[in-house]
Structure 1
């Protein structure tokens, strides 16, 4: 009742977001991505969601803009039954509520907060609210989905008491810069340039998955370097000889190079059998472990804000 009073002017951002309530129904009933039944199934399911993203972008000129762990589902049906050792099923890229036609990307933003799920948003979007959302930002989000699920549910060298803080440092930290705006990506920026928060000798037990993660993180750095037109900074923790030639067009130039590399990794030998998801985070104090307690912010808080406590070694908590 006081919103129009003189004393209250300036209390609310000037942008007005006009929304239309809608419901999207699908024939498929999917399972959460965190229920993957092998590392290869996880990699393939996210790859198939990436293919859906490519089709929507290249054929329909639509950009998803909210690639996240909660928006990629595993579907089991007659065409993709369960498999004995790789899990079967197929990937479904869901929740197109935030999708936009490419022709509308240059229009002014309708809301103060960025579009997307905070933990999986690109470095560029987290650093600069005015940055135009591009396909490459979604490419980066696919990589964070893989890394996020790998750290939480797969076997790797960082499993232990500090894992919760490592994950929080990469995905959760946000800084309030005033006027209702938040910035982030301190942990992601450090990760991409090999400066932490993962240990220098970090690796996943699954060889093909480990290689995919290392080279796609390198691709993020490569794209940032190409955009900034600056010499590349050599990585520390994730420095390795690329499995593909990175001296041509950047991997992020379009969907094709990332797609081809993804497919090549899926065809590699060395994928373990039946290495299904196992929750790797230890409980806080005497609290019983819960997968749900450590999941990304729910959809009702698209851009979940978190304290910078993780930067000092404490787990970040929702504000």
Structure 2
């Protein structure tokens, strides 16, 4: 680990490499790669990577203040990576770890792992080609035309994806989307591992994260004071949650002329300001998550989205195959009515522009 706390790769080994001097004749490299892709470049390989420092799950936090300290560190790491030409694209609760101090058994600042979905920015491509694509190397030149399309794909862990990514607006994944994911990680930890006061109680986490597409998150951001579901309204965390919700809301507005993208400097300053205040609880370590009753089965967000897509396709097919019993006038909703209904429903879940939306956030300017 270096001075800024980012994870470092110490070594890596490809277990499918038949030429490696580390293996003897009894080693079968074919057991460590797939064999059914169209070409070798698309095969999956079994590799082992050694990273430092040693990490522990952020879900076992000693206090909510330590969580915010870790998320500040992660936010800084995202900007450092972006300045170097890399976007993480998969900020999630499983990819943020506390630095485990093995000498004292205490958890301190956090760091990001799992850069598998990371992608180069346009500046990153230029640097990559200058440094690695040299005469005699076997590196392929990176292409912005290819990567900019990859950045439009829905990538990451569903529960923590930014609203714009979930809605597939065609935006390229950027660092602002990763910062929004940091917010959803914090809310996840509060709803699952603290004695929160959200009116939905034990179902709050399910209602938010298992909702199809972005509907749960849009409803959450429009719920005003409920975006800070803490029994104690005087803690620095309460105000921080309201400020973060407002910043995420303004950054998720669909209309570009009204959108206020999250600024990294302002985001980190907000976290630092909260951490510098007194009044943080000292006895709010993570509590084990209790599973919600499964008496009423629910679909998770991804399954629900796929199920609804199948239902819409089936209904549209039935409408197209149904006999026409009367003349269809121009603009008739015989066939398109269901689509229009879906569109109206989707519009209702879209947040109002900040200029017309009631000021429901406490302490908002």
Of 245, 248, 267, which residue of structure 2 is paired with 1:258?
267
Which residue matches 1:92? 111
Q: How many residue pairs are counted as aligned between the two chains?
A: 239
Matched, 1:203 2:230: yes
Q: Residue 82 of structure 1 contacts residue 89 of structure 1 at CA under 8 Å; is this kept in 2?
A: no
Which residue matches 2:196? 156
Which residue matches 1:239? none
Distance 1:212 1:143 in 2: 11
SS of residue matched to 1:142: helix
Distance 1:280 1:77 in 2: 25
Say which structure is richer in helix: 2
The structure with the larger Rg is 2
Encode CA deviations 1:225-251: one digit per residue, 9 max, x unaligned. Answer: 495224x8xxxxxxxxxxxxxxxxx57
Distance 1:307 1:53 in 2: 31
Which residue matches 1:53? 78
TM-superposed CA distance for 1:27, in Å, is 2.4
Of 209, 214, 233, which residue of structure 2 is paired with 1:185?
214
Distance 2:249 2:112 in 1: 25
Distance 1:77 1:266 in 2: 21
TM-superposed CA distance for 1:268, in Å, is 0.8
Of 121, 130, 155, which residue of structure 2 is paired with 1:115?
155
SS of residue matched to 1:76: strand
Encode CA deviations 1:111-163: one digit per residue, 9 max, x unaligned. Answer: 9962100000000000016321011110100000001101111122127xx43
Which residue matches 2:178? 138
Matched, 1:101 2:130: no
What TM-score comes out, normalization by structure 2 length? Answer: 0.58
Which residue matches 2:205? 167
TM-superposed CA distance for 1:37, in Å, is 0.6
Which residue matches 1:212? 240
Distance 2:117 2:181 in 1: 14
Distance 2:151 2:119 in 1: 14
Q: 1:130 to 1:91 in 2, by over 3 A?
A: same
Q: Residue 152 of structure 2 contacts residue 171 of structure 2 at CA under 8 Å; is this kept in 1?
A: no
What TM-score comes out, normalization by structure 1 length? Answer: 0.65
Distance 1:19 1:92 in 2: 30
Q: 1:200 to 1:173 in 2, by over 3 A?
A: closer
Q: Specify which structure has the bigger relative contact order, considering alpha-carbon pairs within 8 angstroms and separated by 6 or more residues.
A: 1
Of 70, 73, 95, which residue of structure 1 is paired with 2:94?
70
Matched, 1:37 2:62: yes
TM-superposed CA distance for 1:57, in Å, is 1.0
Q: 1:37 to 1:271 in 2, by over 3 A?
A: same
SS of residue matched to 2:251: helix
Which residue matches 2:22? none
Q: CA RMSD in A?
A: 3.2
SS of residue matched to 1:31: strand
Q: 1:266 to 1:251 in 2, by over 3 A?
A: farther
Which residue matches 2:49? 24
Q: Name stretches of at least 5 consecutive residues in structure 1 with no aligned partner.
A: 1-16, 175-183, 233-249, 287-296, 298-303, 310-319
Q: 1:216 to 1:35 in 2, by over 3 A?
A: same
Q: Residue 78 of structure 2 contacts residue 175 of structure 2 at CA under 8 Å; is this kept in 1?
A: no
TM-superposed CA distance for 1:166, in Å, is 2.2
Distance 1:212 1:71 in 2: 23
